[in-house]
Structure 1
């Protein structure tokens, strides 16, 4: 059982290293985001995720675009909202 744990950890390290690549395929994107491959294909099919398909065969993803896509629609923290409100009130005086 301990060997399995070590192998799983090594696999996670290997996937992390793949996550440092600039261009990812579907399997690498799955490892990078934690999304299942079928969910990634669904996102591509519905044009919800930035992707490239040169030659019409294999899907590729630019990691920088994926990072931006993952961080869209973020929520502001209470402290950020309070700071914005304070700046707004100060600017109206």
Structure 2
């Protein structure tokens, strides 16, 4: 079964069902280029597996964690944290 013959949605559903993705599937899942996904795996930004030393595979939970990394806070949460910090400083 070739990735080119199925839609992006079908690929994402397949990845979620299996629980892992190859580099091409991970790039579709993350909406990133294949080269960037390879670099992220090589630099260990996303944990990866190379069972035969050639193909790189990624767990879906690791891909999800990468997406959810570096959360941006709302202005309300920033003000709340700043207020707590100022009151605890005294």
Q: TM-score, normalised by structure 1?
A: 0.70
Could you tell me which residue of structure 2 aligns to residue 14 of structure 1? 10
| 1:67 Cα deviation from its structure 2 partner | 1.3
* Structure 1 stretch displaced more, 82-91 or 61-70: 82-91
Please give the alpha-carbon distance, in whole angstroms, between the structure 2 residues aligned to 1:27 and 1:64.
17
| 1:60 Cα deviation from its structure 2 partner | 0.8
RMSD value, Cα: 2.3
| 1:61 Cα deviation from its structure 2 partner | 0.3
Pairing partner for 1:57 from 51, 54, 57: 54
Larger radius of gyration: 1
Q: TM-score, normalised by structure 2?
A: 0.71
- Counting only pairs closer than 5 Å after superposition, residues 33-52 of structure 1 correspond to structure 2 as 33-52=30-49
Name structure 1 gaps, 5 residues minimum: 1-9
* Structure 1 stretch displaced more, 51-60 or 81-90: 81-90
| 1:63 Cα deviation from its structure 2 partner | 1.0
Could you tell me which residue of structure 2 aligns to residue 66 of structure 1? 63
Which string of whole-angstrom CA distances, capped at 9 and with x for unpartnered residues, describes residues 28-72 of structure 1?
Answer: 101100111111112223232211111212211011112112222
